[in-house]
């Protein structure tokens, strides 16, 4: 499924706690200079007025009339009906705000709202990680192909989204893929986001360095310390990212037992992947202890596709031929159950924007 050459225009929004960035997408790229406005998150009428103003400005700049508006907005929310619930970083939204219907009334086009983790996963499934992996397999002569993907974002929080056979998995309550609420392996009394987030990196570094948490450097600086590029507590920096990788790997292993698909990682912390990705994949390959002995954590093998040797082994698989009983005919057989784990091929922001675009067009086409 590709929308790279689709002529339709969709208006989009990157909604942050302090600012809103509006744009228009056609095919696989933005077609206007984005418009950035303050979110005015403290004042609901002013915030809604800002959203209408932003979309109006990019609509005027767009090369064709939009067929839809589609964007990520924080939850909790009833996304299919466009109703936003109580938001932590946008306090004006209290008690349920019908944002989608408001925009439909103002712009007379369908409006689609989703979670950013969902749209990130959809963008990577349409035009990023999933087609890249299937391309590797095709180029390597492997008959294996993937149709399912779990997208995870590491940043302020731990987000997730599921794509199954070209469709975004929303769930019955708009809560599919909410990985941040899985139990935390490193601290079973808390949820996993407390070990997979910016605040987790800073907290663990502070503990190891013997400093107050509020004085800890930002993750990009902790990463530089871990790489030996800046002065600081290097062992603490390395351990902060290793712990995050272990915790995330445990959560993703749980998710993959249900999804059985590729794993793509995006978000602001992915620049430090060389400090956390090996631990993440190692955790997915770990074992459980049982009365009869250890068993593998997963009924398949996770490969780190950012490592050249692992990528080669992933593509090769264990393909061989077996004889059909009662005849001399042979059929191909690859007994190696496997998934690939790797980084966004689009960049998180672009994946979200393309996911929003593709989701809107998919829904429009489905409705006929």
Say how many domains are in the chain. Answer: 2
For residue 4, being part of any structural domain is answered with no
The per-residue pLDDT for 39 is 87
73 and 124 fall within a common domain? no
Whether the predicted pLDDT of 271 surpasses 90 = yes
The answer as to whether 355 is a domain residue is: no
Domain, as residue range, for 39: 9-114
Q: Are residues 151 and 258 in the same domain?
A: yes
* Same domain as 128, residue 266: yes
Radius of gyration of the chain measured on its C-alpha atoms: 22
Note whether residue 52 is domain-resident: yes
CA distance 48 to 33: 21
Q: Are residues 140 and 264 in the same domain?
A: yes
- Given a contact cutoff of 8 angstroms between Cβ atoms, the answer to whether 313 and 303 are in contact is yes
Same domain for 216 and 325, yes or no, is yes
Shared domain check, 194 and 79 = no
**Shared-domain flag, residues 244 and 162:** yes
- Encode pLDDT of 44-97 as tens digits: 999 999 999 999 999 999 999 999 999 988 778 889 999 988 776 677 787 789
pLDDT reported for residue 76:
81
The length of the chain in residues reads 368
Indicate whether 80 and 208 sit together in one domain: no
> Of 95, 114, 133, which residue sits at a domain end?
114
Taking residues 221-230, report their average pLDDT. Answer: 96
Q: Is residue 175 part of a domain?
A: yes
**Is residue 204 in a domain?**
yes
**pLDDT of res. 349:** 86
Model's pTM, two decimal places? 0.92
- Can you give the pLDDT at residue 40? 87
Residues 89 and 145: their CA atoms lie apart, in Å, by: 40
CATH code for the domain in which residue 26 is found: 3.30.420.40
More confident residue, 228 or 85: 228
pLDDT higher at 192 or 30? 192
Q: Per the domain annotation, does 365 fall within a domain?
A: no
Domain stops at, among 114, 142, 160: 114
Average pLDDT over residues 323-339: 92
Kindly state whether residues 100 and 210 are assigned to the same domain: no
Q: Which two tokens stand for residue 319?
A: 């393909």
End residue of a domain, out of 114, 138, 165: 114
> What pLDDT does residue 178 have?
93
Are 14 and 127 within one domain?
no
pLDDT at site 242: 98
Residues 140 and 100 in one domain: no
Average pLDDT estimate for 153-182:
93
Together in a domain, 127 and 163: yes
Give the 3-state secondary structure of residue 40. Answer: coil
299 belongs to a structural domain: yes
What's the pLDDT score for residue 67?
97
In a domain, 363, yes or no: no
Average pLDDT over residues 186-203: 97
Closest to 260 measured CA to CA, from 183, 150, 167, 154: 150
* Alpha helix segments (H runs only) across 109-268: 116-127, 129-139, 198-209, 219-226, 234-259
Instruction: Sort strands 287-290 and 97-98 into parallel, antiparallel or unpaired.
Output: unpaired
């Amino acid at each position: 499924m590709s929308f790279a050459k689709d002529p339709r225009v969709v208006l989009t929004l990157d909604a942050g706690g302090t600012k809103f960035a509006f744009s228009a997408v056609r095919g696989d790229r933005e077609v206007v200079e984005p418009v950035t406005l303050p979110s005015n998150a403290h004042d609901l009428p002013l915030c809604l007025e800002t959203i209408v103003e932003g979309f109006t400005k990019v609509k005027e700049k767009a090369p064709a009339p939009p067929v839809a508006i589609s964007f990520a907005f924080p939850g909790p929310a009833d996304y299919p009906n466009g109703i936003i619930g109580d938001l932590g970083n946008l306090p004006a939204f209290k008690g349920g705000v019908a944002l989608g219907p408001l925009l439909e009334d103002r712009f007379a086009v369908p409006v689609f709202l989703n979670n950013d983790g969902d749209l990130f996963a959809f963008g990577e499934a349409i035009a990023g990680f999933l087609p890249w992996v299937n391309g590797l397999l095709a180029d390597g002569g492997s008959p294996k192909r993937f149709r399912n993907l779990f997208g995870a974002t590491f940043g302020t929080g731990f987000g997730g989204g599921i794509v199954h056979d070209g469709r975004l998995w929303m769930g019955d309550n708009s809560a599919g893929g909410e990985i941040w609420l899985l139990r935390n392996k490193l601290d079973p009394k808390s949820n996993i986001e407390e070990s997979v987030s910016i605040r987790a990196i800073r907290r663990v570094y502070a503990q190891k360095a013997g400093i107050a948490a509020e004085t800890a450097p930002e993750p990009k600086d902790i990463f530089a310390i871990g790489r030996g590029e800046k002065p600081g507590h290097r062992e603490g920096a390395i351990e902060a990212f290793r712990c995050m990788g272990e915790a995330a790997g445990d959560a993703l292993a749980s998710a993959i037992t249900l999804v059985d698909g590729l794993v793509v990682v995006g978000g602001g912390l992915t620049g430090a992947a060389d400090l956390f990705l090996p631990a993440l994949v190692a955790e997915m390959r770990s074992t459980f202890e049982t009365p009869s002995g250890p068993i593998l954590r997963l009924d398949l093998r996770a490969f780190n596709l950012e490592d050249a040797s692992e990528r080669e082994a992933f593509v090769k698989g264990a393909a061989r031929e077996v004889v059909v009983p009662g005849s001399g005919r042979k059929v191909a057989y690859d007994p190696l159950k496997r998934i690939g784990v790797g980084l966004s091929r689009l960049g998180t922001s672009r994946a979200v924007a393309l996911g929003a675009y593709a989701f809107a067009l998919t829904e429009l086409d489905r409705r006929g």
